[in-house]
Amino acid sequence: MLTIRSVETLDDYWLRLTLSDRTTIERQVSDLLRGPVFERLRTNYAEFRRARVRHGMVEWPGDLDLAPEVLVWNGPAPQDASEPPTARLVLHHPTAQPVR
């Protein structure tokens, strides 16, 4: 099972993730930052840039995190995880509205 080893924040709510197999992938996560719990990250980009990896998850101060399977696979890990995840992916929340 792939896990997230490191995270780097990029412009426009992209994350560059290094995985346990040393693969590097990029994810655009603005659509996942929904609801009042993520408001601080949506409205203050400096807060978003404080992302770090802890226990294989991307997290921010204040106990905010995103599930690693969503970031790596855009949902649950496939049965055959021998194929690498997509290198660059825009993730969408099913009820997302554009970030303002």
Domain coordinates in residue numbering, the chain: 4-90
Q: What is the pLDDT of residue 100?
A: 47
- Beta strand 88-90 with 24-28: parallel, antiparallel or unpaired? parallel
Q: What is the pLDDT of residue 77?
A: 81
Q: What one-character-per-residue DSSP string does 10-25 give? A: EGGGEEEEEETTS-EE
Asked whether the beta carbons of 20 and 81 are under 8 A apart, the reply is: no
CATH topology of domain 4-90: NE0471 N-terminal domain-like (3.30.2020)
In this prediction the pTM is: 0.86
List the structure tokens of 54.
């802890």
Which residues in the chain come in under a pLDDT of 70? 81, 93-100
Q: Could you read off the pLDDT of 76-93 as tens digits, one per residue?
A: 888 876 778 888 888 876
